[in-house]
Each structure stands twice: as structure tokens, then as C-alpha cells.
Structure 1
Amino acid sequence: MEFFDLMSISHRYMEILNPSTPEKIIKLGKLLQLGRGSRVIDFGCGCAEHLTLWAEEFGIGGVGIDICEDFCDRARKKLALRGLSDKIEIVCSNGADYVFEEGAFDAATCIGATFIFGDYQKTVQILKRAVHQNGRLGIGETHWLSNWIDPEYAQKQTTTNTESALARLTRDEGFELEYIIRASSDDWDRYISDSWYGFIRWLEENPMHPDYEQVQKYFRSDQDDYLRFQRQYMGWAMYCLAPMNSY
């Protein structure tokens, strides 16, 4: 079973596929200075809940890219149901392969999916090419909560940085870290528990599935990592990045 098949199982009861809330997503939209007619490109858009909320709240248009066919199907159905299919285009593709017109967007986002490009800095490098001179970036990313991390867990999370390192990397790319919208412990618990719920429902429904043991093993490993390490050492936040030339 492929990684994104596992994600489809664990995320099947979620609309927001990260530890955030509708209110925090709307807050990010305000910080990105979205308004009627703004164009947004969202890499790793999942089920397009961010784009949907911004279209309804601010009147934006744009494009969402995701590699997972299940998420893309769910996104298109949602947009059709809410009358937004003419506003938001969903492209089912590896975001790293998607060819966009440089400077064509008012904001570029990658919420919880910097693995598409390899790491945080490479993500900033791609996103800044998509926006015009005064465009803002929104990135959802993990960060270490302290300078000491359990070595066993640190070896599994080689692309995670401290927030001071994220600020430095942001400046290196010609932007400033303008605002942090941090996930609370409750946000983390909700997101992780929703994924466990998805796994357990699938295991209950598919006891004879040939991939049953693989799914169970992944679920238990994910749960153990969260309870042993992640909740103690790792945080998550959405960051608004402003270009240095905008002030």
C-alpha cells in the first residue's frame, strides 16, 4: 500500500488535513491580504478546505495542486457542492512537477506539505517565484519546541527546524516572518486523533484485506511516535511571510 493510500485512510473523516481550525485559516487569509479577485496557488491542497474557505470569505480564485487522487476527487466534489468550481481549479499532480506562470499570483501557500519540495527553504524558493513583487507566502510547518530533541526522534525528522532557524531561512530568501498562527495542543490532539479514528474504522471494516497488517503497523507506529515524542518535542504553525520590499 502506497503512502498516499495510507493518508486517504487516516484522513478520510477530515476536511482540514492539518492541526488547524477554520478560524485560523481565515486569519491566515487576512494576513495574506486576500480580497475579491485575488489569485492563490496552493501546493499540497488536500481536500481544498483552505481554498474553499478563502473563496467564500474573501472571493478569491486560484488553483490547488495535490498528488493524491482521493483528495482531489473530494476537493472537486466539495467545490461543486458549494458553487465554487468556476473559482478554484484542482490539478492532480506532484506539486514539484507543476508548471506555473511566474509572478501570476497574489499569494502562494503550502500548508503542511513542504515535503513536496524537500524542505522549508526550498519551498520558499518555489513559492516566491509564483507571486508578484508584493505577494505574500503562507507555509504550514513543523518546528522543534526546544533545542534538545530525543536523538531517536530527531533522526526521523531531519528536515524539522527550530523557529529561529525558520526565521533565518526566511530572511535568506528575501522575506520576513511576519506572523505566526500556532497550533494548540488541542489542535494537535484533534488532528492526530482524527487520523487514528480513520485507521481504526478502516481496520474494523476490512479485517480480511491483504494490507490489513501493514495498515495496522503504520497506525501503531504513528500513534507511538506521537505519544512518546511528537507531542513533547514538536510544534506546528502556519507562517505568513512578507517580502522585504513591501514595507
Structure 2
Amino acid sequence: MDIPRIFNVSESAHRIHNPFTPEKLAALGAALRLEPGTRVLDLGSGSGEMLCTWARDHGIRGTGIDMSQLFTEQARRRAAELGVADRVEFIHGDAAGHVAGEKVGVAACLGATWIGGGVAGTIELLARSLRTGGTILVGEPYWLKMPPTEEVARGCHAASTSDFLLLRDLLASFGNLRYDVVEMVLADPGSWDRYEVAKWLTMRRWLEANAGDDFAKEVRAELTVAPERYATFTREYLGWGVFALMAR
């Protein structure tokens, strides 16, 4: 079980696998007013930066599930590095359908709502692990402005313009599911740059070290088109944010 290899290559040097900086992740933790001992479940936990830093800074206890073996190993090393390995655990596995054995105070899925078939299904899945009065965190793209064509949408790695909503409509959709939006932290052009642009050096160095690898052709093709595609499409049309929700 693993994610597509291109992500394991291009994001292998990332600690955060979304367009968030460490400062934004810290701002989110502070905004949630986390109490020591709060249990946090993170589905699609990547390299574990959220759980590890929140365990260090706020004393939470957490469990992360991720399909990438590489990222899971990186998360465990990060927990040891920050001295929180006794408070967080990381499981290499499929987060789709995962329900915590013990109810949690925060149930999160940042940037992987495909595990529930979309935003609504993921919220429903997370709610199954949540204690009464707990908080759901959803990280999700949204359109900064509607793409004028389907080609532009595909340039943003969407299948079509209908894949995402404008921010106002995304916020309204949470209300339609009978959740209050109680906090949000949004990506900005700088945090998008750190997420996307950092991949380019990683891929270049991987190519230099793995010139004879059968996968090199695919990595080279991605590195060749990524800068122009990002500047033309993603940076202009796509937003991303984490939204904190509480059931009404």
C-alpha cells in the first residue's frame, strides 16, 4: 500500500504536504485553543508535522494514518526528533473508513477528502470518531475565481470546474451539512510557493542521483512542465484552507 511514486519523490523533502507553512500550522493549533491531553486523529497524516508539533506545543495526544510508507517513516522520525514519540503514533495504512477506537476531541483530514468520496463523506467519516462537542478539521481546495474553461481547471489538477467551490460556497456547504464554521486558516501565495516550488529542487536532485532509474523519465517530464503550469493555473485560480467545524 502506497501513494503514487511521483508524490513520494517530489514531496520527499516536505514536512507539510499541503500549501501551509509551519507558521500557519502553528496559527491553526493556537486558534483551536487546544488543551493538554486532547486526543487528535489525523487521517492522511503525511509526515506527521501537525501531530508532532501540536504534541510539543500543546500537549495533545494523537494518531495519524497515511498510505505512504515513506511519509509514515518520516513522521515517526519527526516524533522522535521532537521528543513526543510517547504521545503520538503513526500507522501506515488506508485512512478510508478508519474510525478511532476511542473518541477524540479533534478529528482531521487535511487535503485528502477523497478518502470519504468528497467533503461531505469525509465529514461523516470523521464524525464517527468524534466525541460530543469535538471539532472536525477539513483541509480542502477552493476556487479563488471560477476557471473560465475546463482546460484551466485541469491545469489546477482538477478533473473539472465542478470539483471545487468558491470560498463562499464552500463555507455555505458546511452550514448545509449542519455544521458551524468556528475557525479557518487559509493558504496564501507565499505558502503555495513553499509547497509547490520546493518540489522542483527535490525532483532535480532526485534526477541527478537516479539518472538510470526507470522512473526518471516521468520525474523529468513533471519537472519540465511544473513551473509554467503552476504560474499559469494553480497560483491564479486555486486556494486552499483548513476549516474547523462543530456540529449544530
Q: Normalising by structure 2, what TM-score? A: 0.90
Tell me, which stretches of 5 or more residues in structure 2 are unaligned?
none
Instruction: Within 5 Å, give how 1:18-167 maps onto structure 2.
Output: 18-101=18-101, 104-155=103-154, 156-157=157-158, 158=160, 159-167=163-171
Tell whether 2:175 aligns with 1:171.
yes
1:159-196 C-alpha deviation (Å, 9 max, x unpaired): 22211221222112221222221111111111111111
Task: State the percentage of identical aligned residues.
Answer: 31
SS for the counterpart of 1:239 is strand
CA distance in 2, matches of 1:176, 1:195: 35
Tell whether 2:179 aligns with 1:180.
no
- 2:230 pairs with one of 200, 203, 226: 226
CA distance in 2, matches of 1:69, 1:232: 33
Tell me, which stretches of 5 or more residues in structure 1 are unaligned?
none
Structure 1, 234-243 or 44-53: larger mean CA deviation: 234-243
1:5-29 C-alpha deviation (Å, 9 max, x unpaired): 2112111222122111222212222
Change (3 A) 1:143 1:34: same
1:81-105 C-alpha deviation (Å, 9 max, x unpaired): 2221211111111100424237x00
Structure 1, 40-49 or 210-219: larger mean CA deviation: 210-219
1:35-66 C-alpha deviation (Å, 9 max, x unpaired): 11100000111110000111011100020010
AA aligned to 1:181 is V
CA distance in 2, matches of 1:32, 1:149: 36
1:183-229 C-alpha deviation (Å, 9 max, x unpaired): 11111111111111111111111111111112222333443431221
CA distance in 2, matches of 1:201, 1:117: 35
Which residue is equivalent to 2:219?
215
Change (3 A) 1:236 1:90: same
SS for the counterpart of 2:65 is strand
User: Does structure 1 conserve the Cα–Cα contact (< 8 Å) formed by 2:10 and 2:202?
Assistant: yes
- 1:236 pairs with one of 224, 240, 247: 240
SS for the counterpart of 1:19 is coil
Q: Normalising by structure 1, what TM-score? A: 0.90
CA distance in 1, matches of 2:222, 2:204: 11
CA RMSD after TM alignment: 1.8
